Chains A and B, each alone.
Chain A
Amino acid sequence: MQQHKIPEQLPVMEKLKILSDAAKYDVACTSSGTSRGNNGKGIGNCFDAGICHSFAADGRCISLLKILFTNECIFNCRYCLNRSSNDVPRATFTPDEICELVIGFYRRNYIEGLFLSSGILKSPDYTMELLYQTLLKLRTQYQFGGYIHVKAIPGADPLLIEKTGFLADRMSVNLELPTAEGLKKLAPAKTREKILKPMRQVQNRMEENRQELVLYRNAPRFVPAGQSTQMIIGATPENDFQIMSVAESLYQKFDLKRVFYSAFVRVNEDSALPALPGGPPLLREHRLYQADWLLRFYGFEAGELLSEDRPNFNMVFDPKCDWALRHLEHFPVEINRASYQTLLRVPGIGVKSAQRIVKARRHGSLDFPDLKKMGVVLKRALYFITCRGRTMYPIRIDEDYITRNLLYVKEKLPPELRGDVSYRQLSLFDDGMPLSAEEQQLLIT
C-alpha cells in the first residue's frame, strides 16, 4: 500500500497534532504512585496522589503530555489507527523536540510529566532504544524530575527495558485484548507470551529493587510507581467474567498497579471488527472499572461478583449493589459493631466512610444522622444496615422489595436502559407481597 510521503521536517505543531491524536486511545493518564522532591538542580517533583491538570472534552483527565514517539508502525493490528496498512499522515519526533515540549509545558504547569508510547519503527529494539535515549536526555541533560510513564515494547532487548525502567516512574505493556484468541484474531503480530514476558521482567526487577532499597536507601529506583496495562473492551466477544478473571490474575500474579479498560472505538473499517451502532460500550467499561475497584480496595474476588452462569454485569445496578442483592443473608449489618471489611461490602459505604465510621465509633455509638454527615449514601445503604439494632425505616430484607426501592434512586443511566427498569410488575393482587405505606397511599389517592 502506498504510504503518505512526509516532508523530512514537519513543524513541531503538526507533529504534536498527529502524535497526540494517535496516542489518545491509550487510557492511562495517571501521575500517581511516586512521591519525590526536587533534586535541587533541576525542575520538577512528584506528588503522591497525582495531579490532574485539565480535562478534555470527553471528560478524561489530562495529567501527562500523552504522545507517541512515532506513529510509523511495522505491525498491522486490526483495531489500531496507526496500523501499517492505514493511509494516515505519519510523523516522528526527535528526542530534543520532546524534551523541549515537556519542559516548556511543565514550567507553565500544564502537565505533570510525560507519557511516551510509540509505534514500532523498524524493530522493537530500535524503537525501545529511541525511547530510552529520549528519557535519558530528559532526566540528565534537562534535569527533569517530574513523572514519566513509558511503554515497554514487547520483543525489545531486556537490557534496554531495564535501563529505561530506571529512568521512568511507571512502565506499562498493553495486553491489548483479554484473551490469546482475541489477540490472534486482531493482532496477528503479537502473542500473549511476547506481551507477558516484559511484564514479568518488570515485576521481577521491581521486586529485586525493593530489596536493594532496603539495603541501600539511595539505590536508584526501578519503576517506583509500578506497572499498568490496558485491555480493549468490546472488540472481541469475551464476557465480563473472563475480563475480570484476567484482571484479577494480573493483580495477583503480576503485581500490577492498575489495569485499564478501554471501550472499543471503531476507527478502522475492517470486517474482523464488530460494528457498534450505539457508540463505544461506555457503560460496560464503567461497570468494569467499578468491579476493578472492588477487587483492589474492597476485598472482593472476581468469582464472587460473576460466575460462569452469570458472566456479565448487571447494567442497571453497580456490581456491589448487585452482589449485595444476591447475598441478603449477610445483611443487615450493625454499624456500631461490624468489622471494617464487612462495612466495605455495604452498598452506599465506601472506603472513606467506612474508615470514618470505624474511627468515630470508638468515641460513642453512631446513628443514622451521623452516618449521613459522614458521607454514607443512606438512600442506598439503609436497606442493608442497622444502627443500635434498628433499621432507619421499617423495611423488609427481601430481594424484590429492595430491588424495587433501589430503582427509584437509580443512578444516571443511558436512555435505552432508563425505560425498562421495572424488575417486577407491581399489581394489587400480588402474591402476598404487602405494599409499603407510601404505595398504598398512592393507590388510594
Chain B
Amino acid sequence: MMTVFLCEDSLDGILTGVYEAWDSRLGHRNVKLKTDTEDTMELFCEYRTVSTELEKAEKVLQTVRCRMGVKAEEAVCYAAACPDERKADAIYRLIVLGLSMRDGRKAVNCLQDPSVLLVEQLRYKAWHEAERMLGFLRFEELPGAILYARMEPPYAVLSLIAPHFADRLRQENWIIHDVGRGQIAVHRKDSPWFLADARMLDLRQMERRSDAEAEFQSLWRAFCKSIAIEERRNPRCQQNLLPLRFRPCMTEFQQ
C-alpha cells in the first residue's frame, strides 16, 4: 500500500516531507510526496499530513549540500519554487538517488532518470523566472525614501531574488511585496533582509508616493519610448521577451 506524505507547498515543507518519508522506513517504493495544493485524493493510499519543521528541513538541506553538492542544493531550492504538483516527489527521488550513489554530486547529471530530469527542468523554469524578475521588478519611492515594489509571479521567487536586491540596494530601505502569496521581503538600511507576512503592511501607506516619484516615472516612460527604432518596430518580438503578464506592475507600461 502506498503512503502519501502531504507537505506544505514551500521549500521547508517539502524538505520536512522528505525527512518524514525517509524516516518512516516504509521503503522508497511505498511512499510518495505531494504538496497540499492538490485536492483530488487517490484510492488505496494512506495519507499522512506533514507539519513543517524548520529543523528537519535544515537537516535535509545540509545533507544535500554535503553529499550532493551545491548544484543539487540549488536545483532543489529552485524546483521547490515552481507551481507544479509533481515537484515534491521528484525532489524526493533525486535525493534518494543522490544518497545511494557513491559520488552524490553526479546525481544531477543523470538526466535519463525522469525525476532528475523533472527537477532539472523545474530548476531551469524557476531560475529563468527569477532572473526575469530581477530585471522586471519596479520600485516606487514612498515618502521617507522607502522603496516599494509589487509583483505577482506564478513562481515563488521572492526569497530567490531578495538577496540580489539586499546586496544591490544595501543603503536603501525597501519592501518587495508578493501580492499573490501575501508575503513581503523587508530590508532595512545596512541590515539583513527578512521574509514577513504581508498583513503587517499598511496598504494605505503603500499608496502614497514621494515628490520626485512622478517625475522619474515620466522620465523613464519617455526614455523607453524614444529608445525604440521605429523602422525596426516588432511588437511580437517584444512580447516574446516581455510577456504581458509582467506588464501590469511595470512603470513603463502604466499610463
A5 at the interface (CB under 8 A from B): no
CB pair B170–A366 under 8 Å, yes or no, is: no
B136 at the interface (CB under 8 A from A): yes
State in angstroms the CA–CA spacing of A261 and B238 once bound together.
19
State in angstroms the CA–CA spacing of A52 and B167 once bound together.
18
CB pair B109–A360 under 8 Å, yes or no, is: yes
State in angstroms the CA–CA spacing of A265 and B231 once bound together.
7
State in angstroms the CA–CA spacing of A68 and B37 once bound together.
52
CB pair A280–B232 under 8 Å, yes or no, is: yes
Binary interface encoding of chain B residues 228-242 relative to chain A, with 1 for a CB under 8 A from any of its CBs, else 0: 111111111110111
A160 at the interface (CB under 8 A from B): no
Q: Is the interface of B mostly helix, strand, loop or mixed?
A: helix
Chain A residue contacts of B206, Cβ below 8 A: none
CB pair A56–B112 under 8 Å, yes or no, is: no
CB pair A56–B138 under 8 Å, yes or no, is: no
Select one of A56, A364, A370, A374 contacting B227, CB under 8 A.
Answer: A56
Which of B8-16, B21-29, B88-96, B211-219 lies at the interface?
A: B211-219
State in angstroms the CA–CA spacing of A62 and B220 once bound together.
11
B160 at the interface (CB under 8 A from A): no
State in angstroms the CA–CA spacing of A112 and B222 once bound together.
18
CB pair A59–B109 under 8 Å, yes or no, is: no
The answer to whether residues A360 and B135 also contact, given A47-B164, A101-B219, A280-B232 and a CB cut-off of 8 A, is: no
Binary interface encoding of chain A residues 80-121 relative to chain B, with 1 for a CB under 8 A from any of its CBs, else 0: 000000000000000000000100110111101000000000
State in angstroms the CA–CA spacing of A58 and B224 once bound together.
11
Question: Closest CB of chain A to B216's CB: distance in Å?
Answer: 5
The count of chain B contact residues (Cβ–Cβ below 8 Å) is 53
CB pair A12–B219 under 8 Å, yes or no, is: yes
State in angstroms the CA–CA spacing of A101 and B219 once bound together.
9
Binary interface encoding of chain A residues 246-285 relative to chain B, with 1 for a CB under 8 A from any of its CBs, else 0: 0000000000000000010100000000000001101000
CB pair A43–B172 under 8 Å, yes or no, is: yes
Query: Which parts of B160-210 form the interface with A (CB within 8 Å)?
Result: 164-165, 167-172
Chain B residue contacts of A356, Cβ below 8 A: 111
Question: Closest CB of chain A to B165's CB: distance in Å?
Answer: 8
B117 at the interface (CB under 8 A from A): yes
Chain B residue contacts of A428, Cβ below 8 A: none
State in angstroms the CA–CA spacing of A63 and B136 once bound together.
11
Binary interface encoding of chain B residues 136-147 relative to chain A, with 1 for a CB under 8 A from any of its CBs, else 0: 111111000001
CB pair A282–B167 under 8 Å, yes or no, is: no
Question: Closest CB of chain A to B161's CB: distance in Å?
Answer: 10
**Once A and B bind, how many residue pairs between them come within 8 Å at the CB atom?**
151
B131 at the interface (CB under 8 A from A): yes
A432 at the interface (CB under 8 A from B): no
A378 at the interface (CB under 8 A from B): no
State in angstroms the CA–CA spacing of A282 and B229 once bound together.
13
B226 at the interface (CB under 8 A from A): yes
B134 at the interface (CB under 8 A from A): yes
CB pair A370–B222 under 8 Å, yes or no, is: no
The answer to whether residues A51 and B223 also contact, given A45-B167, A360-B110 and a CB cut-off of 8 A, is: no
B159 at the interface (CB under 8 A from A): no
Chain A residue contacts of B223, Cβ below 8 A: 16, 20, 65
Select one of B138, B171, B218 contacting A43, CB under 8 A.
Answer: B171
State in angstroms the CA–CA spacing of A63 and B241 once bound together.
13
Chain A residue contacts of B168, Cβ below 8 A: 38, 43-45
The answer to whether residues A40 and B219 also contact, given A51-B131, A108-B140, A364-B112 and a CB cut-off of 8 A, is: no
B119 at the interface (CB under 8 A from A): no
Chain B residue contacts of A170, Cβ below 8 A: none
The answer to whether residues A42 and B171 also contact, given A52-B241, A360-B111 and a CB cut-off of 8 A, is: yes
The answer to whether residues A25 and B229 also contact, given A54-B250, A59-B234, A61-B241 and a CB cut-off of 8 A, is: yes
Chain B residues with CB under 8 Å of chain A are 106, 109-112, 117, 131, 134-141, 147, 149, 164-165, 167-172, 212, 216, 218-220, 222-238, 240-242, 250-252
Shortest 10 CB-CB contacts between residues of A and residues of B = A59-B237, A56-B228, A58-B232, A59-B234, A57-B228, A55-B242, A359-B109, A360-B111, A21-B226, A53-B135
Provide 15 A-B residue pairs closer than 8 Å at the C-beta atoms, listed in order of the A residue: A13-B222, A17-B222, A38-B167, A41-B171, A47-B164, A54-B136, A57-B233, A58-B234, A59-B234, A59-B237, A60-B232, A62-B227, A104-B219, A108-B140, A359-B109
| New contact pairs (10) apart from A59-B236, A110-B220, A363-B112, CB-CB < 8 Å | A20-B223, A38-B167, A43-B169, A56-B227, A57-B234, A57-B235, A108-B138, A109-B165, A265-B232, A356-B111
Chain A residues with CB under 8 Å of chain B are 12-13, 16-17, 20-21, 23-25, 37-38, 40-45, 47, 49, 51-63, 65-66, 101, 104-105, 107-110, 112, 263, 265, 279-280, 282, 356, 359-360, 362-364, 366, 370, 373-374
